[in-house]
Amino acid sequence: MRLTINGRQVEADVDVRTSLLDLLRDHLGLPGTKKGCNQGACGACTVLADGERINSCLALAVQYDGREVTTIEGVGAPGALHPLQRAFVEHDGFQCGYCTPGQICSAIGMAAELERGLPSYVTGDLDAETIELTHDELRERMSGNLCRCGAYNGIVDAIRETFGQIAEDAGKREAA
């Protein structure tokens, strides 16, 4: 199979049982994506597949033949961090750092969902053209990413600082 990971073409020959997560970690030398449960319950393994956030532990690698996957290694590296990564450092949005790559990838996917106007469980008006990134919207949408160190406040601050703008911009486009 062949897939694009972080903009690079990769060829892999894997067991049909192998998850996308194990492909990344054990076969491709990309351990930035983390394994916290291997059963879809913690979000540590979140990556972006064609721009959408998924739990890579629940994805079979072979399903991603021909597709584009972005992992934390493709988001930014020390010296060239993504604004969200910088905000995580600034707001201390982690302690041990193990859930962090998943939180960051998830937040990037979430921001895109918000921009597309996808409602969540707490969205009041399902017909609204734009959805404001309120504290509740943000926490609800990020609740699939567990942080046992309890860095939630810092994570929320980092995401708000980075993506709070999105909702406003979308609102402005509407108004214009």
Residues in touch with ligand FES (CB under 6 A): 35-38, 40-45, 55, 57, 94-100, 147-149, 151
Write down the H helix ranges in the chain.
20-22, 72-75, 83-90, 100-115, 135-141, 152-175
Pairing assessment for the beta strands 8-11 and 46-49 based on DSSP bridges: unpaired
The answer to whether residue 98 forms part of the interface with other proteins (CB under 8 A) is yes
Member of 52, 65, 90, 129 binding other proteins (CB under 8 A): 90
Residue 65 CB, nearest approach to other proteins (Å): 18
| Site membership for other proteins, residue 172 (CB under 8 A) | no
Please state, in angstroms and rounded to a whole number, the distance separating the CA atoms of residues 146 and 168.
Answer: 27
Q: Select from 2, 50, 77, 116 the one that contacts other proteins (CB under 8 A).
A: 77
CA dihedral (10, 30, 84, 118) positive or negative: positive
Footprint of other proteins on 120-139 (CB under 8 A) = 135-136, 138-139
* Residue in 10, 12, 112, 156 binding other proteins, rule: CB under 8 A: 156
Q: Using an 8 Å Cβ cutoff, are 32 and 41 in contact? A: no
Answer yes or no whether residue 40 interacts with other proteins by CB under 8 A.
yes
Q: What is the DSSP letter of 106?
A: H
Q: Which is nearer to other proteins, 31 or 119 (CB)?
A: 31
Which tokens is 80 given? 């060239």
Give the span between the Cα atoms of 121 and 129, in whole angstroms.
16
Question: Footprint of other proteins on this chain (CB under 8 A)?
Answer: 15, 17-18, 22, 25-26, 29, 31-42, 44, 71-73, 75-79, 81, 85-86, 88-90, 92, 94-101, 104, 135-136, 138-140, 142-156
